[in-house]
Structure 1
Amino acid sequence: MLNDKSTAENAMQIILYSGNARVHCMDALKAIENGHFEKANEEMKLANEEIVKAHKVQTDTISEEAQGKAGEYSVLFAHAQDTLMTVYSEMNITKRMIKIFEVYEKRLSNLESHKGEGKRS
């Protein structure tokens, strides 16, 4: 049976891994801001590694509950799940932003390279 201590430990692991993922996600956004898309993608890979760890702890805990090994309701665990899902959403938005700004940067570069062609006499 899950006891209050193991539930709290699982919750803290989820919060820790999710927080690590959030840091990488924020670093990816800073990289996007500076036009460093390769760095942004690297940060998102690291964020994904952390969020997978958090998700595994959550899944394992829920699986134990489904097997009848549940403890008491935990506000801390509910908070951990909320944190996990919030960071996951932030990651999805950041991944989309990388793609959007990569396309934007490419279009801008194409316009700038064609700008000089029209002025030749």
Structure 2
Amino acid sequence: MVSEGTVQKAMQIILFSGDARKNCMEALKAIEVSDFVLAKAKMQAANEQIVQAHRVQTDAISAETSGEAGEYSVLFAHAQDTLMTIYSEINIAKRMIQIFETYEERIQRLEKKMEGRENNE
């Protein structure tokens, strides 16, 4: 039987990670409408939440390496998998913000250039 402490740690990781995923998905929706300010704010929230999840994991691993009895738990393994999956999603979303901001800037420059040409005709 898995200890209550391990279950609580696993659930904390899953909850923090889930909240991070929610904010990450909201950031991606903001990118769809070119709202990069909102996207960055959502990513900041996602990052704060994933850091909290990572701290819980790190504390559990540190305790075990310091001599506390460790135990295998499918739930804790699932929590770690969830954490790492969402961490990867966050990294990709951060990069997507950069990519789409760059495209948005290029499009705006092209539109200004085209407006200048239309006005000269």
| 1:70 match: secondary structure | coil
Instruction: Tell me the equivalent position of 1:37.
Output: 36
| 1:72 match: secondary structure | coil
Q: Please list every run of at least 4 consecutive aligned residues from structure 1 whose deviation after the TM superposition is greater than 3 angstroms.
A: none
- Offset from partner CA, 1:62-94 (integer Å, 9 cap, x none): 011101212320000000000000000000000
Question: How far apart, CA to CA, are the structure 2 residues paired with 1:67 and 1:93?
Answer: 34
1:31-70 alignment to 2 at 5 Å?
Answer: 31-70=30-69
- Offset from partner CA, 1:21-71 (integer Å, 9 cap, x none): 000000000000011000000000000110111011000000111012123
Instruction: Tell me the equivalent position of 1:5.
Output: 4
Q: How many residue pairs were aligned?
A: 119
Question: How far apart, CA to CA, are the structure 1 residues paired with 2:26 and 2:52?
Answer: 19
Instruction: Tell me the equivalent position of 1:113.
Output: 112
- Structure 1: gaps of 5 or more residues: none
Question: How far apart, CA to CA, are the structure 1 residues paired with 2:115 and 2:15?
Answer: 51
Question: How far apart, CA to CA, are the structure 2 residues paired with 1:29 and 1:87?
Answer: 13
The question of whether the paired residues in 2 share the 8 Å contact of 1:4 and 1:71 is answered with no
